[in-house]
């Protein structure tokens, strides 16, 4: 059996999609523990996750996805870590492929695949026309696309909780600084659901601000 993989799912009011997300992970037929960090949800997220055999952490009030990722990391038992959004859908047989690449290359500390956007089925044609998505698969999304050795976080520490978005920039910068190799794979790991409440859409202004702050810090270190 392969080493344990901890898959951490930050989630706030995710009852609409989280079952599909979890079932797609379970279909990978790998040795996984699924940790759902319920970030102040007021819906049925916790009960759904528990019924599907997940470990659930619960924040009474929302602290944001970056804090949720760190909370999951602190209790994760696996030698490998993946973060996954509660509304996205992993492709069939992708986790074994990511694991094989990382496990067989001891000099690589993380593998990064691509994601592909898709419109959630409930969106109307008018909503779809008013929303831009990327038509081709792309790199750059952390959740659902990156499998990383847990030992990495012993070397570089947890995520920067002073930002609410864009933490992948800070993470990649720390990986570079510590000469920890990331291998890019030309495969699509996860389908990113585009719907009316995406965090990236609702927090876009704050996300741009965080990107600018992290970029200035990176340039300052240089």
Mind listing the pLDDT tens digit for each residue in 20-61?
A: 999 999 999 999 999 999 999 999 999 999 999 999 999 989
In the chain the domains, ranked by start, together with CATH numbers, are 5-221 (3.90.550.10)
CA distances (Å), 93 to each of 100, 189, 209, in order? 11, 9, 37
Residues of the chain above pLDDT 90, percent:
70
Contact (CB, 8 A) for 9 and 86: yes
CB atoms within 10 A of CB 155: 13
pLDDT in tens, 197-209: 664 443 444 444 4
127 versus 92: the higher-pLDDT residue is 92
Kindly tell me if the per-residue pLDDT of 181 is higher than 80.
yes
Average pLDDT, the chain: 88
Q: What is the DSSP letter of 178?
A: T
Q: How confident is the model at residue 220 (pLDDT cuts 50, 70, 90)?
A: low
Among 50, 37, 41, CA closest to 12: 41
């Amino acid at each position: 059996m392969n080493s344990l993989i901890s898959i951490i799912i930050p989630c706030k009011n995710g009852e609409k999609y989280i079952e599909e997300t979890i079932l797609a992970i379970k279909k990978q037929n790998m040795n996984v523990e699924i940790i759902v960090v319920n970030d102040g949800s007021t819906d049925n997220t916790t009960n759904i996750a528990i019924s599907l055999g997940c470990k659930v952490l619960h924040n009474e009030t929302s602290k944001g996805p970056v804090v949720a990722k760190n909370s999951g990391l602190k209790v994760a038992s696996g030698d490998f870590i993946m973060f996954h959004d509660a509304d996205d859908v992993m492709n069939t047989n992708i986790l074994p492929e990511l694991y094989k690449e990382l496990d067989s290359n001891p000099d690589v500390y993380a593998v990064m695949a691509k994601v592909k956007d898709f419109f959630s089925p409930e969106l109307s044609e008018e909503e779809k026309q008013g929303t831009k998505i990327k038509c081709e698969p792309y790199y750059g999304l952390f959740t659902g696309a990156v499998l990383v050795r847990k030992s990495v976080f012993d070397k570089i520490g947890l995520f920067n909780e002073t930002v609410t978005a864009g933490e992948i920039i800070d993470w990649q910068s720390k990986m570079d600084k510590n000469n920890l190799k990331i291998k890019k794979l030309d495969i699509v790991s996860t389908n990113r659901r585009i719907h009316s409440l995406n965090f990236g859409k609702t927090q876009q202004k704050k996300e741009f601000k965080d990107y600018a702050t992290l970029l200035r810090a990176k340039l300052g270190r240089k």
